[in-house]
Each structure stands twice: as C-alpha cells, then as structure tokens.
Structure 1
Amino acid sequence: MDQTKRLKLGAIFFTIFWIGGMLWWSGEYHPAYIILLAVCGTIAGYLWYLAMRSVFQHMHRSG
C-alpha cells in the first residue's frame, strides 16, 4: 500500500472518529445536527488530509 492510500484511509478514519466523538460528546441526535456534524467532519477530514500531505512532502524534501 502506498503512502497516498494510507493517508487517505487515515483521513477517512479521522473523519469517522471525529463525527462519532462529537455526537457522543454532545448527546444531540436530531437529524439536522447529525447532518451538520457530518458536513463539518468531512471538511475537517479533508483539511487534515491536506495538512498531513503538506507535512509529509516537507519532510520528504528536507530529509
């Protein structure tokens, strides 16, 4: 498995755990709240992917 695929899987797991953690922490289970958390979690997962990709590229260039 190449690094890009592992990074994408990590972003997916981050998104799932972030959404699940936020639902568990808040205790709110209204459909609108779940949709809002899913959208925010997806954005957070994508931003995490971009940040980690940038960090790994920087480490690869400097190392």
Structure 2
Amino acid sequence: MDQEKRLKLAAVFFAIFWIGGMLWWSGEYHPAHIILLAVCGTLGGYLWYLAMRWVFRHMHLLPRNGDNGAGRETP
C-alpha cells in the first residue's frame, strides 16, 4: 500500500472517530444533529487530509504531484 492511500485511509478514520466522539460527547441523537456532525466530520477529515498531505510533501515523505519515484535510486 502506497503512502497516499494510507493517508486517505487515515483521513477516513479521523472523520469516523471524530463524528463518533462528538455524538458520544454531546449525547443528542436527533437526525438534524447527526447530519450536521456528519457534514462537519467529513469536512474536517478532508481538511486534515489536505493539511497532512502538504506537511508530508514539505518533509519529502510523499512524492510531488505526478512523481512516482521513477528515476530515483534507492540506497
């Protein structure tokens, strides 16, 4: 599994656990509240993914756009 796919899975888990945690913490299970938390959790997961992708690319832990590592020599 490549790093980009792991980062996407981590963002999905972040969103799921954030939504679950906020539902558990608030204790309200009205449909409107659940939908609002789901939308906010999805947005938060996507923003977390973008932020971590930027950080990892800045630290050279992820390849740049379109760079699959071809031409790189491994030590």
Does TM, normalized by the shorter one, top 0.5? yes
Q: Give the letter for the 2:13 counterpart.
A: F
Question: Could you state the TM-score of these two structures normalised by the residue count of structure 2?
Answer: 0.80
Identity of aligned residues (%): 84
Partner SS for 2:59: helix
Report matched runs for 1:30-41 at 5 Å.
30-41=30-41
Distance 2:25 2:6 in 1: 28
Structure 1 spans left out of the alignment, 5+ residues: none
Consecutive aligned runs of 4 or more in structure 1 exceeding 2 Å deviation: none
* 2:28 counterpart SS class: coil
Whose radius of gyration is greater, 1 or 2? 2
Relative to its length, the structure with more helix (as a share) is 1
Give me the CA root mean square deviation. Answer: 1.0
TM-score (norm 1): 0.95
Where relative contact order (Cα < 8 A, 6+ residues apart) is larger, the structure is 1
Instruction: Give the Cα separation in 2 of the matches to 1:34 and 1:4.
Output: 29
Deviations 1:42-62 (A, max 9, x none): 00000000000000000008x
